[in-house]
Amino acid sequence: MSEDKYYTLVEGCTFASNQTAVMMLDRRGGGLGLLQDAQLIKTTRDNSKVNVYDIKTGALRAKLEGHEGGVWGLEFHGNTLVTVSTDNSVRVWDIARAECTHVFRGHTSTARSVQILLPVQIDQYPDGTPVMMPEQPLIISGSRDTTMRVWKLPQPGDSKYLPPAPTDEECPYLIRILTGHQHSVRALTAYGDTLVSGSYDCTVRVWKISTGESLHKLEGHAYKVYSVALDHNRNRCISGSMDHMVKIWSIETGALLYSLEGHTSLVGILDLKEDWLVSAAADGTLRAWNPENGHCQSVFIGHTGAITSFQHDDQKVISGSDKSVKMWDLRTGVCERDLLTDLSGVWQVRFDAQRCVAAVQRRAMSYIEVLDFGASPDTIPSDRLGERTLVNKLGEEIEGSEGHVDLND
């Protein structure tokens, strides 16, 4: 029996009872950020540390320390991790070496949103040569200081840049500062040469990254904007607000195209994938919309509290709320499975074709739970089917920790 199949919970789409690897983080409550790739899980709490775990064993691979305040956002590409923090800084890390290689300063308040933006083809010249934007890999950070900053993404082999000064106006990686919002920048998303930002000033702005020009100020929300999405195929953007509304806008003209009604509380999360737009709200529901015409396709009802995290593909939605992690049929809105129950909090959920990773809280203790969609129950001893296995930071099993759970209820 291979080790990576030993720590499994869910099998394929049939949901036979297997096992799960549960990584205990610490004994305090509190929020968690979460990223995963095929091999590693990166987590952060509202403190200054980022932990990197092996997704197969649960072993702690690296502890990234350096921030002087809570880490509120993180993005990674390959071996590079970028974090933003309440200490106002942006940090770049070499994951394999577990060290900070660059510190970018300049924000004067909490940096809470970040995106790594890689060049993509947005057009082609008459001779067939592709037009790539941005021209180089970028980092975009958004802050409570009302601004966004555009930085060059450091490349492997670059010299370290670790300035001690609290501000960094001479930073060679800083490209430009984007100003215009009158309150905190709560959300941002970018593609090619287009950046969309949502703010507590109740507006959405569309920017041309290569020049820093604010192309449109989108007004129409009555309260704070909490979430944005970019539909580059249709040349549109989407926003979610405390006014319960989801709005679809034209990037070309700035015109409001559709106002999507149905939620009864703050719309805090949006996720767009091709022909499916999904919104999640503090009313405990998710809604799937047709982004072409704004029609509501399905409503997901079953959570008992605000949706704190979700992700979807073209078949399913996996969402987390106060007490459970659920998997839904995207097209019908039917709950296919309660993946995790009896929780006191869900901070993040992420999944790919093989695994779902959830950062959760149970009885004032935080965990990461790894659910393996690809494992076969035939590879697990019958006396261990349905067993939850708790492992420590070395990837070692803690005996007598959680007992059995019946996943077929």
Q: What is the pLDDT of residues 312-332, one digit of tens each?
A: 999 999 999 989 999 999 999
**Secondary structure (H, E, C), 178-246:** ECCCCCCEEEEEEECCEEEEEECCCCEEEEECCCCEEEEEECCCCCCEEEEEEECCCCEEEEEECCCCE
Task: Compute the radius of gyration of the chain from its Cα atoms.
Answer: 21
Least-confidence region, from 187-191, 334-338, 339-343, 389-393: 389-393
The answer, yes or no, to whether residue 271 has pLDDT greater than 70, is: yes
Q: Looking at residue 353, what is its pLDDT?
A: 82
Q: Is 377 helix (H, G, I), strand (E, B) or coil?
A: helix
In contact, 43 and 25? CB cutoff 8 Å: yes
Reported confidence tier of residue 287, pLDDT bands at 50, 70, 90: very high
pLDDT in tens, 220-240: 999 999 999 999 999 999 999
In contact, 71 and 50? CB cutoff 8 Å: yes
Q: Which strand (E) or helix (H) includes residue 6?
A: helix 3-6
Mean confidence (pLDDT) of the chain: 84
Q: What is the pTM of this model?
A: 0.86
Residue ranges, CATH 2.130.10.10, the chain = 24-34+61-347
pLDDT in tens, 89-148: 999 999 889 999 999 999 999 999 999 999 999 999 999 999 999 999 999 999 999 999
pLDDT in tens, 2-58: 333 323 322 222 222 333 444 444 333 333 444 555 455 555 555 678 888 777 777
Q: What share of the chain is helix, strand, coil (3-state, %, to 5)?
A: 0, 50, 45
Mean pLDDT of 285-293: 98
- How far are the Cα atoms of 288, 310, 326, 361 from residue 342, in angstroms, in the given order? 26, 18, 12, 10
In contact, 395 and 379? CB cutoff 8 Å: no
- What is the CATH architecture assignment of 24-34+61-347? 7 Propeller (2.130)
Tokens 């989407």 sit at which residue?
A: 238
pLDDT in tens, 345-386: 898 898 888 888 888 888 877 788 888 776 655 665 565 555
User: What is the DSSP secondary structure assignment for residue 164, as one 8-state letter?
Assistant: -
The answer, yes or no, to whether residue 161 has pLDDT greater than 60, is: yes
Reported confidence tier of residue 73, pLDDT bands at 50, 70, 90: confident
